Amino acid sequence: MDILRFITAGSVDDGKSTLIGRLLYDSKSILQDQLEVLEKHSKNKNEDGVDLALLTDGLRAEREQGITIDVAYRYFSTAKRKFIIADAPGHVQYTRNMITGASNSDLMVILIDARKGVIEQTRRHSVIASLLQLKKVAVAINKMDMVEYSQDVFEAIKADYSHIAENLGLKEVTYFPISAFNGDNIVSLSSNTDWYEGVSLLDYLEEVRVDQDINKGDRFQVQYVIRPQTEELHDYRGYAGQVTSGKFRTGDRVHILPAGIVTEITSLEVNGSKVQEAFEGQPVIIRVKDDIDISRGDFFTTTEELPQVEKELEGVLCWVDEKTLKPGNKYLIQHHSRVLKAIVKEIDYKINVNTLEQEEVEGEVRLNEIVRIKIKTAQPLVFDDFIKNKKTGSAILVDETSNATVAALIIQ
């Protein structure tokens, strides 16, 4: 049984948590003791006598305020598929949490309040879906019960969003008229929308085919150098990490980057046993033929599909810090286990999330703005274009003094 990872995105009070609660409740993925607690704490009760949003709003502050603060992951399954859902906050100041959830998702469900239509957060989340190369988007037009299940309202919002999708290159968009509170078109089709000719949201999620992105190139990054220096293992030197993409075999000729030295893999060890191959996602210890200076953050790659090794790179940045960004600011760039000093050389333009046009940056970049930049690092960085390899084509910027994450970077 395969797994679908998806994220719900939308503005505050669009009903993301209620939608997820409805999926869990109607698919009978809630234990009896959970249901009893839910009934006890419910204030905003539906016809079933429960407030479904409480299933995902687990923090006390979230329950008290009726908002989602942190990314909440929930799991459920049907006879056809398993699901991992990321419920992301709708507040603008929590956009960074939404990026975190979206970066690990196969599909985005964007909720739109039928009373409000397309708003700024809708556009912002759609831009992020486009930047993260999410190929399928489900637009759930929620609270249809509050607009009397009007087909005209549904079609108008669908027309508005289709322009955004076209401009952003989101080609596979599916629309659903729903009421998460009442359960219309969530698990089964509703008689309240007899004009709707599509399937329910759950039917779509069960059947949608998401082609797993193939990250090009064989990549392994060293996380730890193992050197026991005991009598039994006097000459042992292994390089521990996870296969980022592709696969490695015993006997492979590999480049050690950024040094550019070529050597040969003599053994691969997984869970203490020698293996002939190690695949993407596997933790492994690699031993090589030559005695080379290899450190944490260095990459192993086979001779095909070599990555770029540069001190200068370009990309799209989503700024997630209260402090502003200016050209010339210095940060740490963290590219998985490699951390380097870096400087933002230029800010080329920013993307207006309302018009989706490129605009000149006047002075500083502020919280949640999305910009195109040029960065220079103190030492060479090993990376791929995000389109070719999402894992080696993404990084974060970290404030040197506070150690806070200030930006998500997509290398292009």
How many whole angstroms separate alpha carbon 229 and alpha carbon 328?
45
212 membership: H or E segment, kind and range: none
Which pLDDT belongs to residue 156?
97
Go through 80-95 and write b for each residue having 16 or more CB atoms within 10 A of its CB, e for each that does not: ebebbbbbbbbeeebb
Q: Which residue has the higher pLDDT, 222 or 50?
A: 222
Proportion of the chain above pLDDT 70, given as a percent? 84
Which pLDDT belongs to residue 347?
94
Which pLDDT belongs to residue 132?
84
Q: Please state the pTM of the whole predicted model.
A: 0.78
Sign, CA torsion 275/280/283/289: positive
Amino acid at 170: L
Which pLDDT belongs to residue 49?
55
pLDDT in tens, 228-256: 766 666 678 899 999 999 999 999 999 99
Sign, CA torsion 281/285/288/292: positive
pLDDT in tens, 212-222: 666 889 999 99
Which pLDDT belongs to residue 32?
53
How many whole angstroms separate alpha carbon 105 and alpha carbon 274?
33
Average pLDDT over residues 83-110: 76
How many whole angstroms separate alpha carbon 131 and alpha carbon 308?
20
pLDDT in tens, 198-216: 999 999 999 998 766 668 8
Least confident of 16-30, 40-54, 126-140, 278-292: 40-54
The answer on pLDDT for 360 being more than 80 is: yes
Those residues with Cβ within 8 angstroms of residue 60's Cβ, 6 or more apart along the chain or in another chain: none
**Does domain 3-207 bear CATH number 3.40.630.10?**
no
Q: Which residue has the higher pLDDT, 303 or 108?
A: 108
Nearest to 132 by CA among 368, 394, 319, 321: 394
Question: Apex CA 15: angle with CA 10 and CA 18, to 5°?
Answer: 130
pLDDT confidence tier of residue 50, bands split at 50, 70 and 90: low
The answer on pLDDT for 383 being more than 60 is: yes
pLDDT in tens, 297-352: 999 999 888 999 999 999 999 898 889 999 999 999 999 999 999 999 999 999 88
The answer on pLDDT for 117 being more than 90 is: yes
The token pair that represents 112 in the structure block: 């739109």
CA 3 to chain centre: 15
Average pLDDT over residues 103-120: 91
Those residues with Cβ within 8 angstroms of residue 233's Cβ, 6 or more apart along the chain or in another chain: none
Which pLDDT belongs to residue 64?
44
Q: Would you identify the CATH topology of the domain 308-411?
A: Elongation Factor Tu (Ef-tu); domain 3 (2.40.30)
Average pLDDT over residues 115-135: 88
Which pLDDT belongs to residue 42?
55
CB-CB contact of 105 with 87 (8 Å): no
How many whole angstroms separate alpha carbon 393 and alpha carbon 216?
11
Average pLDDT over residues 363-391: 92
Look at residue 207 and give its three-state secondary structure: helix
pLDDT in tens, 151-203: 999 999 999 999 999 988 898 999 999 998 898 999 999 999 999 999 999 99
Which pLDDT belongs to residue 93?
56
CATH 2.40.30.10 in the chain is located at 219-302, 308-411
Q: Which residue has the higher pLDDT, 68 or 348?
A: 348
pLDDT in tens, 265-283: 999 999 989 999 999 989 9
Proportion of the chain above pLDDT 90, given as a percent? 55
CB-CB contact of 256 with 298 (8 Å): yes
Q: What are phi and psi for residue 278, nearest 5 degrees?
A: -135, 135
Give the chain's mean pLDDT.
86
Question: Apex CA 18: angle with CA 17 and CA 22, to 5°?
Answer: 120
Which pLDDT belongs to residue 74?
81
Sign, CA torsion 102/103/104/107: positive
Q: Which residue has the higher pLDDT, 7 or 211?
A: 7
The answer on pLDDT for 89 being more than 60 is: yes
CATH 3.40.50.300 in the chain is located at 3-207
pLDDT confidence tier of residue 55, bands split at 50, 70 and 90: low
Q: Which CATH architecture describes the domain 219-302? A: Beta Barrel (2.40)
Which pLDDT belongs to residue 233?
66
